Amino acid sequence: MKNYNLGDVLHQTSFYTNKALGQNFISDTNLLTAIVTDAGIENEDTVVEIGTGAGTLTGIIADKAKKVYSFEVDRNLEKVLNITLSGYENIEVIFKDVLRMKDEAVTEIIGDGHFKLLGNLPYYITTPLLLRFIDSNFNVDSITIMVQEEVARRIVAKEGTEDYSSITLAVAMWGDATITRKVSRNMFFPSPNVDSAVVTIKRNDSKIKGYERKKINRLVRASFAMRRKTLANNLSAAYQISKEEAIARIEKAGFDKNIRGEKLSLDDYLRLSEEF
Ligand code: SAM
């Protein structure tokens, strides 16, 4: 762990945080260490970090892991990182937007081995970033992300609750998600106007074993298309079948004709997919 004062480094390098890029940095060593512990990082691990920022988390990951590939879009941070990450030989910072890269381009950099994904994410990329990795063929073993508390609640929501949504199911198909820690807005510099939480998702390939991910994804997205509509209405629109036909298929799968998408668990969706 390197010893520096983040405020001093930002001042010394004349770096000003960019709100539009979600630059809310963490410098509390105890919190950063706890996030790395939540992620279960061990010394043989390769870690891919999204959003290097000032490198505060990156350095602590690198103290534990074998190798860290850290993606950052803002080149202005290079002067900061030259100070905060100097001397680390197991860190590679890549100044690219991972959301705009093809899988092959990412693999060219990080290789095709297994890795753990970690990041204190800019809030506006949470969902696309999650989908970018869970809908891919990368060998991601676990995902540990700091997100807005509200989004964290959506990720781990139970069926039938207001927070339950298509992102809940997209994640549930991929693995087992838990909120490992809540983090006050005061822990960030500058402080955002919402609190955050760390979510850890452990890959579990048995969740949809035997089912086609693409097909389930389509069914879930269709079922949540219009939240106030019944499942039958949503599915009749998405699959271009009559409402009667949609009801017949829903009932054949064992559900009430008036049921709404948010009442169905992942296992229910797997059962329903036999009819769609
Ligand atoms: N990891 C640091 C920390 O914990 O203090 C920084 C976290 S800050 C919330 C998020 C960082 O992600 C910012 O430095 C921002 O520039 C960067 N960022 C924004 N969009 C990005 C993208 N598409 N890909 C990679 N990094 C991005």
What spacing in Å lies between the alpha carbon of 43 and ligand 1's midpoint?
Answer: 24
Confidence of residue 227 (pLDDT cuts 50, 70, 90): confident
- Determine which of 32-46, 58-72, 204-218 has the lowest per-residue pLDDT on average: 204-218
Span 169-197, average pLDDT: 96
Same domain, 146 and 33: yes
pLDDT of residue 1 exceeding 80, the answer is no
State which ligand 1 atom lies nearest to the alpha carbon of 58: 1
Residue whose CA is at the smallest distance from ligand 1 atom 23 = 97
Structure tokens at 22: 């979600």
**Does residue 31 contact residue 183 with C-beta atoms inside 8 Å?**
yes
What spacing in Å lies between the alpha carbon of 78 and ligand 1's midpoint?
Answer: 13
Q: What is the pLDDT of residue 176?
A: 97
Confidence of residue 2 (pLDDT cuts 50, 70, 90): confident
The answer, yes or no, to whether the previous bond of 192 is cis (omega within 30 of 0) is no
What spacing in Å lies between the alpha carbon of 161 and ligand 1's midpoint?
Answer: 31
Residue whose CA is at the smallest distance from ligand 1 atom 22 = 97
Q: Is there a domain that residue 66 lies in?
A: yes
Testing ligand 1's pocket by substitution, the residue of 17, 21, 24, 198 carrying the most ligand atoms inside 8 A of its CB is: 21
State which ligand 1 atom lies nearest to the alpha carbon of 74: 16
Same domain, 159 and 177: yes
Q: Could you tell me the residue range of the domain that residue 224 belongs to?
A: 213-273
| pLDDT tens, position by position, 103-154 | 999 999 999 999 999 999 998 899 999 999 998 889 999 999 999 999 999 9
Domain CATH code at residue 265? 1.10.8.100
**Does residue 253 contact residue 271 with C-beta atoms inside 8 Å?**
yes
Region of 110 (left: φ > 0; alpha: ψ -120 to 50; beta: rest) is alpha
Pocket of ligand 1 (CB under 6 A): 21-26, 50-54, 56-57, 71-74, 97-99, 120, 122, 125
Among 150, 179, 203, the domain-final residue is 203
Span 88-113, average pLDDT: 96
Span 174-191, average pLDDT: 97
Burial of 203 (0-12, 13-18, 19+ CB in 10 A): middle
The H or E element spanning position 69 is strand 67-71
State which ligand 1 atom lies nearest to the alpha carbon of 51: 12
**What percent of the chain shows pLDDT beyond 70?**
100
pLDDT of residue 193 exceeding 90, the answer is yes
What spacing in Å lies between the alpha carbon of 175 and ligand 1's midpoint?
Answer: 24
Q: What is the pLDDT of residue 228?
A: 85
Q: At what angle do helices 266-273 and 166-174 cross, to 10 degrees?
A: 90
- CA 101, chain centre distance (Å): 17
What spacing in Å lies between the alpha carbon of 137 and ligand 1's midpoint?
Answer: 23
Amino acid at 41: I
Q: What is the pLDDT of residue 157?
A: 97
Q: Is there a domain that residue 31 lies in?
A: yes
Span 177-183, average pLDDT: 98
Same domain, 50 and 166: yes
The total number of structural domains that make up the chain? 2
Same domain, 61 and 37: yes
| pLDDT tens, position by position, 12-35 | 999 999 999 999 999 999 999 999
**β-pair type (140-148, 175-183):** unpaired
Same domain, 199 and 217: no
C-alpha distances out from residue 141 to 50, 175, 204, 242, Å? 15, 9, 9, 42
Same domain, 232 and 192: no
How far is residue 266's CA from residue 172's CA, in Å, rounded to a whole number?
7
What spacing in Å lies between the alpha carbon of 19 and ligand 1's midpoint?
Answer: 11
Among 203, 230, 253, the domain-final residue is 203
pLDDT of residue 3 exceeding 90, the answer is no
pLDDT of residue 97 exceeding 90, the answer is yes
Q: What is the pLDDT of residue 4?
A: 92
Same domain, 60 and 131: yes
Q: What is the pLDDT of residue 276?
A: 95
Q: Model's pTM, two decimal places? A: 0.95
Q: What is the pLDDT of residue 59?
A: 98
How far is residue 86's CA from residue 263's CA, in Å, rounded to a whole number?
51
Same domain, 157 and 232: no
Span 166-187, average pLDDT: 96
Same domain, 135 and 235: no
**Does residue 226 contact residue 124 with C-beta atoms inside 8 Å?**
no
C-alpha distances out from residue 84 to 48, 134, 142, 225, Å? 18, 31, 26, 45
Question: Strand, coil or helix: what is 93?
Answer: strand
Among 203, 238, 260, the domain-final residue is 203
Same domain, 44 and 174: yes
Domain CATH code at residue 89? 3.40.50.150
Q: Is there a domain that residue 208 lies in?
A: no
Testing ligand 1's pocket by substitution, the residue of 4, 18, 19, 23 carrying the most ligand atoms inside 8 A of its CB is: 23
Q: Is there a domain that residue 1 lies in?
A: no
Span 69-96, average pLDDT: 97
Same domain, 239 and 126: no
Question: Strand, coil or helix: what is 201?
Answer: strand
Confidence of residue 64 (pLDDT cuts 50, 70, 90): very high
Same domain, 260 and 126: no
What spacing in Å lies between the alpha carbon of 51 and ligand 1's midpoint?
Answer: 3
